[in-house]
Chain A
Amino acid sequence: MRTSMRTAGTLVRIGLAAGRSTPGDRLRWWSLFGAALALAFVTLATVATLATYDGRETRADARGAVITDGKHGALLYREGADSVGSRPVSVLFLHLLTPKAPVPAGVSRWPEPGEVLLSPELLRTGRSEGILTRYGSFAGTITADGLVTPSERIAYVRVADAPPKDDDRWMHVAAFGAGGGATGEMADQKPATSTLLALWSLTGLPTLALTVVAARVGSRSRDRRSGLLQALGGTWRHRMIVNVGEAAFPAALGTLAAFVPYAVASVRDIRLGPTGYILDHRDVWDAWPTAAGAAVVSLLAVLGIVVGTHRVHRDGRSTRPASFTSRVPAWRLLVCGIGVALVLTSQYVPQRAQLAVFTCGTIVMWAFLSSVVALLTRHLGSWLANSGKRKGHAGRMIGGRWTHAHPGVIVRLALAMVIGIGIVAQMQVWTSRLGVHSQAAVATHQRIKDTVIQLTTGGMTAAQTDRFRSSLPAGSLLLTRAFHDPGPGKDPWVTIAGSCRDLRTLHVACPADTKPAAATSPQVQEMRRWYGNVEFAQVPHVTVKPDSTESLLVVTPEPGQLTAVKQAAYTLPNPSVQVETLGGNWLGSSRAHLANWIQLFGITGILFILVAGAVSAAAECVRIRHALAPLSVLTGHRRVFRSVSSWHLTVPLLIATVLTGAVTAWHSVFFISLVQEGSVSWTVLAAGITTCAVVSLTVGFLGARAAAREADQWRPAAD
């Protein structure tokens, strides 16, 4: 026992010393540090996500209304929706039935009638849109205990007058805090699994790629060492201890460094880039024990990858350690083929399982693509070398032999590009998947902006609508929209009614008109698009029935008057209205904001993959530098360095770029045809391919330059 402990200690010391003395050691140190940091960062982000979901549920429960019957109600409560900019706002209208009506979490006391409580984020973002006076007089803010996140936009509005008794949208509430609510950001909360799936596919996968690349930086000397240890009778455990000893220090420091952003997020609220979402620091703080455990798992994963990528291959064909002739196992190619087959056959399985089969196939395909790329790269290298030898082209011959002997270099760089282009393509495709209604809403907004506004109100008399009309921006038209449902088997229709003057302004003929109206206005065309079968009617006075079948339509003479219309709507006697532009509820939907999350995860992932590519390229430059420098004794020309570097790096990478582009295009088109929405942006794909082509040229250029510089100082030395 003591002997084995002593041996382990010695091996760890060997590993630690090796970490400080191998060529390109600083590069590997920093690569492992960066990879461990990135993996721990994603792991801690996972912990923070789960903790945030937990905290959101807890706070949503604390403010959730307990609905009761009329007898036990302490207040009347109605949920409404509004928007500030393109962001949805949850508006909760209240009418107290007793002076001691309970308050939800985040509210210490109810404001006076006609007053409102706003969330800090709503106050901040809505100030320019007149949010301070939109729903009533501002009386204070809702504290963090009553908000699922600090970025939530929510308002408690205590209406000035008692709601109409016949408006069944008002509910009796007995208390708060005994059940989940679907208000505010909880209204369309995606399950945690969706968020984590996006996080790990867009950011986690590149992080794992970065870790593999970092683990293999300068692998040649370690492969030789592993072979030597094996030859000396060392077992996999001995090799593991040396490899772990070598990687432990940078990996542990990198993992610890990931706690810096976590620590910041646990003491202050952090706004997440393009999403505008604010992480609640209390959730992150509460999850410190879990975070510590997760960090240990992350560190072990890094060390596991280091050990797993330094296995000794014994093919039984040579007595020497086979450091550069290892073959690609056939089973890996088979598994990759199965992945491709799953993608191809996904369209023929039952519709429910299509996306799952497609996703499984995609993951398997990408996971084992490296083996296929390695095999192709080896063949390409062999072909290049033989061609170079036949033609007497030294650069092509050396480059080809290197590519054949060290396909891992090309594979890692090519995979970085594959994942990079893949992420860009998936980001673009997913963000284009807005859905039919969101796309229609975007199109409507592009054509008529916010000139058609729908108001869902309670019942209104002619006098009330006249008063409302007078408070609208000058030149606005006021119409009613009535929905008719004739029952099964017959198509419903919508009647839009207004004064002859208003209808004529919209180029709609009045019954008294002898001439048909001129070309229909764009606003009417959009109404037909959204409402379907529309009939127009002339009425002397605009009224709204209280049975929810009718609502108001305001057509403003010019865009940009939505805020003014809202201001007028919320000062109605019963302000529990809902105001939105035509199709507007689809513009601010959570699906529309999904793009921001995909951007956040995708851009972070691309950043990691760029680091992985840069590290891989730098590692190869270090290797090329040392390997090619002795040629300086044989030739005074620098062109051999350019030639070798081009044939070894640039040409295979350019071929990989073209293949990657083709595979990505096929995969994206296949995905779109499967889900039947979204589109492929060929411009984005072309930009990605162009970037990779430039990277290929740059890597070759840098490799040649590094070798030429090293050659100037090269002296023979023991390795």
Chain B
Amino acid sequence: MKQSDSSGLRVSGLCYRVEGRTLLDGVELSVSPGESVAVTGPSGSGKSTLLMCILGLITPQAGTITAGGREITGLGSARLAQARRETLGMVFQFGELLPELTPVENVALPVLLDGGRHQDAYRRAEELLGELGVPTGTTPTGMLSGGERQRTAVARALITEPAVLLADEPTGALDPEAKEGVAHLLFTTARDRGCPLLLVTHDPSVAGRADRRYELQGGILAEAGAL
């Protein structure tokens, strides 16, 4: 895999309040290239909100986010989308794939939408899916198993070779074997590509694979065990 030239992910003084609840209260976080960080915490503690803020889907009330040397906060929607496309790769909890498309088409989609060469996109998608053990035939993605779908989602996040990789409960709905497979894939890919990985999970075994573990509670993000 090609090494990324990303300069990591930096989150500084991030605050987000909604309906009187403080979900993020001056969150500070830094993930270096090739490093993996797992964020755990009880349901509703704001773990996914942190990822949504980094992804630019939620605008925080305060704080800055820098990904791949590019500041995400304060960008207009067009430039934010461009930054997201070029810098961030995201694996959603439920994949968010288009079930009618084949796995190759789903994986190639970000490149196609960005106007990239489609032949290259299909070839790269097939390579990624092959590495991840997902069938590359004409079967619609919706007909694949949960593990295959989630691996397809990982491949989609990787095809643009993002500077930062984000994952929101990527193993939440998988059986132990599939969970292991997807977790292994995410951590090794991030390490091999020198790409920072920020992963949100409930699963201690998955979180245990990360270089560092953080816990989010009451809006405060702290190293695991520090709270």
Contacts and interface: CB of A to CB of B under 8 A. Distances in A.
Contacts of A632: 81
B118 A401 contact: no
A436 interface: no
Contact of B113 (A391, A640, A712): A640
Nearest to B93: A716
Interface in A322-336: 323-325
A21 interface: no
Interface in B63-104: 77-82, 84-85, 90, 92-94, 96, 98-101
Nearest to B78: A636
B216 interface: no
Given A630-B96, A632-B81, A715 B58 contact: yes
B85 A635 contact: yes
Contact of B140 (A325, A392, A631): A325
Given A633-B57, A635-B85, A715-B58, A401 B101 contact: yes
B100 A405 contact: yes
B84 A633 contact: yes
B168 interface: yes
Nearest to B81: A636
B57 A714 contact: yes
B57 A394 contact: no
Given A324-B140, A632-B81, A635-B114, A401 B109 contact: no
Contact of A401 (B55, B79, B105): B105
Nearest to A322: B143
A637 interface: yes
A394 B117 CA distance: 12
A389 interface: yes
Contacts of B57: 633, 714-715
B140 A634 contact: no
A712 B58 CA distance: 10
Contact of A716 (B96, B110, B121): B96
A208 interface: no
Contacts of B48: 716
Nearest to A640: B113
B113 A394 contact: yes
A676 B94 CA distance: 63
A716 B92 contact: yes
A659 interface: no
Contact of A392 (B85, B101, B117): B117
B222 interface: no
A472 B191 CA distance: 110
Given A325-B140, A632-B81, A636-B80, A394 B112 contact: yes
B185 interface: no
A635 B113 contact: yes
A406 B133 CA distance: 28
B112 A397 contact: yes
Contact of A391 (B79, B96, B101, B118): B118
A405 to B, nearest CB: 4
A546 B113 CA distance: 93
A627 interface: yes
Given A398-B98, A715-B52, A634 B113 contact: yes
A397 B85 contact: no
B41 interface: no
Given A324-B140, A635-B81, A402 B100 contact: yes
A718 B85 contact: no
B142 interface: yes
B98 A627 contact: yes
A408 to B, nearest CB: 13
A181 B109 CA distance: 77
Contacts of B96: 630, 633, 716
Given A401-B100, A715-B57, A634 B92 contact: no
Interface in A668-719: 712, 714-716, 718-719
Interface in B97-145: 98-101, 105, 109-110, 112-114, 117-119, 121-122, 140, 142-143
A98 interface: no
A398 B101 contact: yes
| Highest count of chain B CB atoms <10 Å: which of A391, A392, A406, A631 | A392
A154 B117 CA distance: 82
| Highest count of chain B CB atoms <10 Å: which of A323, A715, A719 | A715
Interface of B: 48, 52, 55, 57-58, 77-82, 84-85, 90, 92-94, 96, 98-101, 105, 109-110, 112-114, 117-119, 121-122, 140, 142-143, 168
10 contacts: A323-B142, A325-B143, A398-B101, A401-B98, A401-B105, A402-B100, A404-B100, A405-B99, A406-B100, A715-B58
Given A633-B90, A716-B93, A716-B94, 16 more contacts: A318-B143, A389-B118, A392-B121, A394-B109, A394-B112, A397-B101, A398-B109, A630-B92, A631-B113, A632-B81, A633-B57, A634-B109, A634-B110, A635-B81, A716-B48, A716-B52
